[in-house]
Amino acid sequence: MPDQVTMDKIVSLCKRRGFIFQSSEIYGGLASCWDYGPVGVELKRNVKNAWWRTMVEERGDVVGIDSSIIMHPMVWKASGHLESFTDPLVECKVCHQRWRADQLEKQVCPSCGGELTDPRSFNLMFKTFMGPVEEAAAVVYLRPETAQGIFVNFQNVVTTSRKRLPLGIAQIGKSFRNEITPGNFTFRTREFEQMEMEFFVKPGTDEEWYAYWAAERYKWYVNLGIREENLRMREHAAAELAHYAKACVDIEYLFPIGWSELEGIANRTDFDLRRHSEWSGKDLSYYEGTTNERYIPYVIEPSAGADRSVLAFLCDAYREEEVEGATRVVLKLHPALAPVKVAVLPLSRNERLSPMAHDVYNRVRKCFVAEYDDTQSIGRRYRRQDEIGTPFCITIDFESLEDGQVTIRERDSLAQIRIPVEELVETLQAKLAGESFGTDLWAGART
Ligand code: GAP
């Protein structure tokens, strides 16, 4: 990670430009909860849409679902989460701060140096009550992963989608974990969004598919502009594996806090379907007509965090450049992810420029996510567009009124070209499709 990027700079840019705000800020904020602002919500939507496009739409062997966050409590018994989804919690006997024992370097409180209690297992699932009575029988949980909604719908999907194995089921949605030590901005929060896909395969083919999905997922980040020097794969040691996994590899990103998990690809074997079969009493096996075999499928699971991906894309795109003696902060986001693709900026708010500028805006916004801005100096408006990662700015000046031409300014090269208004949409389409940003960039750009 280049020295220029720090978490503080990312947090500050996010607040300054409307990517991410502290939740409930006017009440002093709620620890580790964050709200996405106008450009943040576009960026996050673009990340999720790019994932859905690659993982579902561009494939014939993956379908999607959207399951509920609150599920039958038996789901969590069967999945092992009630018993095993725990972290070792220790508390400082002096200042009463709580810590994850497995993350401590020394066996004293990192905050005050006080003595710590013995570790106890702390279950990370949020508990609440379903209905008006707060009693044990009404206890339900907010899901800590979206995956279980997929497993319990496996038979429904196989029956209704008329698909054969190997078959993937994808889902994007909120998950909740009562993390002991959340922090580092949106890296670890208690409410977050996951992008998960469970790929059901014949036992014996699972290791091949595991390697396949690890490589595919790595490629996804690279294709969306993450620099390879900031990505690496890390295979889990046996002691690290989750209770359901036979193998797991993390795709790690070099965040400003150091190398950290971005996504995990796990071989979950037949653990989940087998357990749900046992606990529900329903047969969740699969019949393979071509070989006349019946088996419980194995599952390969690429599981990514939407918020953590957004953070990685922001960190990777962040640059500080010296331009004409001044520092320019620019987000070199992949055009498919950029919240705004084109900004229309009349040179000033002069009433003679306004009709043509609005005409240009109306043309481009039919084809791209576009923004119109005629406030403040043109320099300040460029600065804002650079900081939100807008690939192209179009300026309309007094000469435009004479010759019908406008200027396109390119975010990364700062090159400017003048073209007739009639050619604008076509030119931008070609440029967003990769003429100046590399290849295959149109995919997802109009999501
Ligand atoms: N279904 C498997 C599963 O949930 P995980 O490694 O616990 O696996 C997958 O989570 C991804 O979800 C992580 O790689 C990370 O991107 C994201 N994630 C997990 N916990 C998170 C948290 N507390 N805050 C933000 N993202 C989180």
**What confidence category does residue 414 fall into, taking pLDDT thresholds of 50, 70 and 90?**
very high
Atom of ligand 1 nearest to the CA of 182: 23
Nearest to 184 by CA among 312, 56, 372, 1: 312
Which residue among 231, 261, 262, 300 has the greatest number of ligand 1 atoms within 8 angstroms of its CB, and so is best to mutate?
261
Count CB atoms within 10 A of the CB of residue 435. 13
Residue 436 has pLDDT above 90, yes or no: no
Q: What is the pLDDT of residue 134?
A: 86
Structure tokens at 384: 């804002």
pLDDT at 437: 45
CA of 305 to the centre of ligand 1 (A): 6
The answer to whether the beta carbons of residues 378 and 426 sit under 8 Å apart is no
Give the residue-averaged pLDDT of 393-400: 98
Output the pLDDT for position 136: 86
Does residue 93 carry a pLDDT above 80?
A: yes
Per-residue pLDDT reduced to its tens digit, 94-143: 999 999 999 898 999 999 999 999 999 999 999 999 998 888 889 999 99
* DSSP three-state, residue 21: strand
State the distance from the centre of ligand 1 to the C-alpha of 36, rounded, in angstroms: 19
* pLDDT at site 435: 59
Give the pLDDT confidence score for residue 445 in this predicted structure: 34
189 CA closest ligand 1 atom index: 24
Sheet containing 370-372, strands listed edge to edge, beginning at the edge strand earlier in sequence: 370-372, 342-346, 392-396, 405-410, 416-420
Tell me the whole-structure pTM to 2 decimals: 0.94
Q: Which residue has the higher pLDDT, 136 or 8?
A: 8
Is 193's C-beta closer than 6 angstroms to any atom of ligand 1?
A: no
Provide the H-helix boundaries in 334-418.
354-365, 378-388, 398-403
H or E element in which residue 209 lies: helix 206-223
Q: Which residues contact residue 98 at a Cβ distance below 8 angstroms, ignoring those fewer than 6 apart?
A: 89, 90, 91, 92, 180, 181
pLDDT of residue 349 exceeding 80:
yes
Q: Rounded to an integer, what is the distance from CA 23 to the centroid of its chain?
A: 18
- The verdict on the CB of residue 143 being under 6 Å from ligand 1 is no
Judge if the beta carbon of residue 196 lies within 6 A of ligand 1: yes
| Ligand 1 neighbour 307 (Cβ under 6 A) | yes
Tell me if the bond preceding 166 is cis, omega within 30° of 0.
yes
How far is Cα 78 from Cα 126, in angstroms, rounded to an integer? 17
Residue 189 Cβ inside 6 Å of ligand 1? The answer reads yes
In a mutational test of the pocket of ligand 1, which residue from 184, 255, 308, 313 has the highest number of ligand atoms less than 8 Å from its CB?
308
Can you tell me the mean pLDDT for 253-270? Answer: 98
Tell me how far apart the alpha carbons of residues 182 and 305 are, in angstroms, rounded to a whole number: 15
Residues 6+ apart with CB under 8 A from 15: 21, 22
The pLDDT score that the predictor gives to residue 4 is: 81
217 lines ligand 1 (CB under 6 A): no
Report the range of poorest mean pLDDT among 147-151, 163-167, 335-339, 434-438. Answer: 434-438
- pLDDT tens profile 192-246: 999 999 999 999 999 999 999 999 999 999 999 999 999 999 999 999 898 889 9
Ligand 1 within 6 A of CB of 177: yes
192 lines ligand 1 (CB under 6 A): yes
Average confidence (pLDDT) over 370-398: 97
How far apart are the CA of 183 and the centre of ligand 1, in A? 14
Of all protein residues, the one whose alpha carbon is nearest to atom 21 of ligand 1 is 188
406 with 35: CB under 8 angstroms? no
State the pLDDT at residue 440. Answer: 38
The per-residue pLDDT of the chain, averaged, comes to 94
Q: What is the DSSP-derived secondary structure letter of residue 69?
A: S
Per-residue pLDDT at 446: 32
CA–CA dist 340, 363 (Å, integer):
15
DSSP per-residue letters across 252-315: EEEETTEEEEEEEEEEEETHHHHHHHHHH-----EEETTTTEEEPPEEEEEEEEHHHHHHHHHH
Atom of ligand 1 nearest to the CA of 188: 24
User: What pLDDT is attached to residue 433?
Assistant: 83
Is residue 3 scored above 70 in pLDDT?
no
How far is 362 from 409, CA to CA, in rounded Å?
A: 19
Give the tens place of pLDDT for each residue, 29-69: 999 999 999 999 999 999 999 999 999 999 999 999 999 99
Nearest in space to 153 (alpha carbons), one of 260, 89, 236, 67: 67
- Predicted confidence at residue 441, as pLDDT, reads 35
Verify whether ligand 1 is closer than 6 Å to residue 305 (CB atom).
yes
* Ligand 1 center to 299 CA (angstroms): 17
Q: Is the CB of 191 under 6 A from ligand 1?
A: no
User: Could you write out the three-class secondary structure of 149-173?
Assistant: HHHCCHHHHHHHHCCCCCEEEEEEE
| Ligand 1 mutation pick, 32, 69, 192, max ligand atoms within 8 A of CB | 192
pLDDT attached to residue 282: 97
| Length of the chain as a residue count | 447
At 295-334, the pLDDT tens digits run: 999 999 999 999 999 999 999 999 999 998 999 999 999 9
E strand or H helix at 45? helix 38-52
* Residue bearing tokens 């003696």: 325
What are 328's strand-pairing partners? 321
